Amino acid sequence: MSFPLLTATAALPAVGAIATAAVPAARRTAAKWLALLVSLATLALAVTVLVRFDPDGDRYQLTESRSWIADFGVRYELGVDGIAVALIALTALLIPFIILAGWHDADPLETKSSRWRPTQGFFALILAVEAMVIISFEATDVFLFYIFFEAMLIPMYFLIGGFGDRAHAGSDENASAQRSYAAVKFLLYNLVGGLIMLAAVIGLYVVAGNFSLQEIAEARANGTLDMATNTERLLFLGFFFAFAVKAPLWPLHTWLPNAMGESTAPVAVLITAVVDKVGTFAMLRFCLGLFPEASEWATPVVLVLALISIIYGALLAVGQRDIKRLVAYASISHFGFIILGIFAMTSQGQSGATLYMVNHGISTAALMLVAGFLISRRGSRLIADYGGVQKVAPVLAGTFLIGGLATLSLPGLAPFVSEFLVLVGAFARYPVVGIIATVGIVLAALYTLVLYQRTMTGPVKAEVSAMPDLRVRELVVVAPLIALLIGLGVYPKPLTDLVNPAVKHTMSDVQKKDPKPEVEAAK
């Protein structure tokens, strides 16, 4: 096709971000509606990509390739496989809900005398992040990917530090200091990871002579590119470190609880349901695709780190007093499952990991956005400040419960399928790893049900006795997410059909086959 569909899908929110930022200061409502319309138009383009993509066709489809920096072999090269298409669809789906949920989040910053336009800036930054995340999923040139992998840190820094959560018990000065600390910590961690990756990107060019993912993979397959073992391992470590920070994987995770805790709920969803998925996606596309031998060499250590993330994140979630930090530590545990599935080196594990990226994005969005609605009503993030909410706001409590049950991977909800496949894939090759990982399931049930019991049940506290139930705008945000959790939990086949062929290609990259069952089926 002649129309550059992939470019358009990434360019539209970028142009929308510029247009939203340029809306006159007095037209705040117009800026909100413009951002929402742009996000819906981007969703329509993402659906078009989904429809045009043939899961049984070529590995990379809808490709675009143009010379960019010819002297250094850098090309503007885009292409999508089934995994990328699923994550582009997830991103484009969540952004309209993020915008709607954050409809009034920048309003308290508005003053008549201020020349700064916080409303326009808030929604423009969200669209800018969307554009950078989408093109990161589309890029098949390593250097092009790196640029946007790093560039998305800038708008995220301002979203965390400039538009952070104001539900603090302390003074405004203390709250501002905490937001600044969280934003700087987010930026420094990810910049260090990015700088290490930059050294690896340069090293890859020295070894391979270009940045094209497809050309490097083909050269390795036909034997014209032979990396020395130590070189490949060093390059793998450079890439993996950056992706592990973004994912985040223990012990590089400590920026996430601060960033999510100090962000507004919609921005917290943007971090963990959208931006962090770039890290796990890149492990599949670049670590396994470019460095298959090094990936196998590093697998034992990565599996141990994934297990620590699963157990550690869940244990810390159990002990949290802050609702948003609890969800943050739960996400660390979930990302451990995703990375476990990737490096189990089985088709079930990698299919489960890909589904986990999508389903975790939907379930975390549902839980965190409802938690944000709850916090905005009470003005506190502390679990102890709630009680008996289900008696005064039953719809809010019900949607909160469904989001929580999805987080603990209840059968019948979408994350269950993902977690089941990850554990099946892990058991098939590493039984002990699979057994240990199941502890995370028990702990997930504990922190989720305790959170619900302490906030929603029991006597009604005086501070929540007049709490209103979900409003129409909030229902529009939550209801589709709940429907998706149930729909994909009951019938995940469309999603598995989309990603399974891409997973087979990844398994071929690392030259792995699924282990045969120890007990043969009866004839």
Structure confidence at residue 113 (pLDDT): 46
DSSP 382: B
The alpha carbon of 154 is separated from its chain's Cα centroid by a whole number of angstroms, namely 17
**Neighbour-count burial of 1, counting CB atoms closer than 10 A to its CB (0-12 exposed, 13-18 middle, 19+ buried):** exposed
pLDDT of residue 509 exceeding 90? no
* Start-to-end Cα distance in the chain: 49
Tokens of 75: 């090309």
Structure confidence at residue 331 (pLDDT): 92
Q: How does pLDDT run across 331-375, given as a tens digit for each residue?
A: 999 999 999 999 998 989 999 999 999 999 999 999 999 999 999
Which sequence spans correspond to the domains of the chain? 5-509
**Amino acid found at 68:** W
Q: How does pLDDT run across 267-309, given as a tens digit for each residue?
A: 999 999 999 999 999 999 999 988 889 999 999 999 999 999 9
pLDDT of residue 88 exceeding 50? yes
Q: How does pLDDT run across 415-458, given as a tens digit for each residue?
A: 999 999 999 999 988 999 999 999 999 999 999 999 999 999 88
The region of weakest confidence among 23-27, 84-88, 340-344, 394-398 is 23-27
Please state, rounded to an integer, the average pLDDT across all residues of the chain: 89
Q: How does pLDDT run across 492-507, given as a tens digit for each residue?
A: 999 999 999 999 888 8
Do 259 and 183 contact (CB within 8 A), yes or no? yes
Structure confidence at residue 219 (pLDDT): 83
Q: How does pLDDT run across 48-68, given as a tens digit for each residue?
A: 999 999 988 888 999 898 888
Instruction: State the Cα–Cα distance between residues 383 and 452, nearest whole angstrom.
Output: 9
Strand, helix or coil for residue 438: helix
pTM: 0.91
Instruction: State the Cα–Cα distance between residues 137 and 275, nearest whole angstrom.
Output: 11
pLDDT of residue 41 exceeding 90? yes
Structure confidence at residue 169 (pLDDT): 46
Do 353 and 483 contact (CB within 8 A), yes or no? no
The alpha carbon of 521 is separated from its chain's Cα centroid by a whole number of angstroms, namely 39
- For 36, residues 6+ apart whose C-beta sits below 8 A from its C-beta are 96, 99, 100
Do 106 and 163 contact (CB within 8 A), yes or no? yes
